[in-house]
Amino acid sequence: MTSYDTESIMCGVAVTGTRNTEHRGLVEYTDLFRDYLGPFASPGAHFYVGGAKGIDSMALVWLADHTSAAITVVVPGRLDQQPVEAQQAIARTRDRIEEIVELRAPELKTPAFHARNRWMVDHAHMTIGYPRRAEESSGTWQTLNYTRDQGKPSLIVPV
């Protein structure tokens, strides 16, 4: 894929992935983000990242450190309800985050996380997902399936 190809489909990219990332090292994730997020980080790019631990937090930090793309962080409830790891990643990259969207769900249960995922997909033109191979019924797969149901492209990068 050339930069022309990515610019022609580029406007917004939702990023989703597993919270369970301990099975790989940080260097491996950095390489995966470089290889699969990097090509979509052209001028005018906008990434929508969930405010969870794991892939969400690592992708947020990578995008902030390695691109000039706009970044929106979306949380199902309030920012102060997010895991400590996610709050730290958001605080570290706050000057690079264009917007934090708090959906203010009354309960942080599965429907709230699905609503957050749908919000990101609805605002993006495509989704890049980093599912853990063993988690076939995860929120990452729910997001990727919703992307497909909306007729939008997705890129799946198993981790």
Domain spans, the chain: 3-156
* Gap between the Cα atoms of 136 and 119, Å rounded: 21
Q: Supply the pLDDT for residue 135.
A: 66
Structure tokens that stand for 125 in this block:
């033109």
Mean pLDDT of 89-105: 97
Task: Report pTM.
Answer: 0.91
Query: CATH code for 3-156?
Result: 3.40.50.450
**Ordered alpha helix ranges (H), the chain:** 3-9, 26-36, 55-66, 84-93, 110-123, 139-149
3-state DSSP call for residue 157?
A: coil
Three-state DSSP class for 125? coil
Tokens of 93: 């990259």
pLDDT at 147 (0 to 100):
97
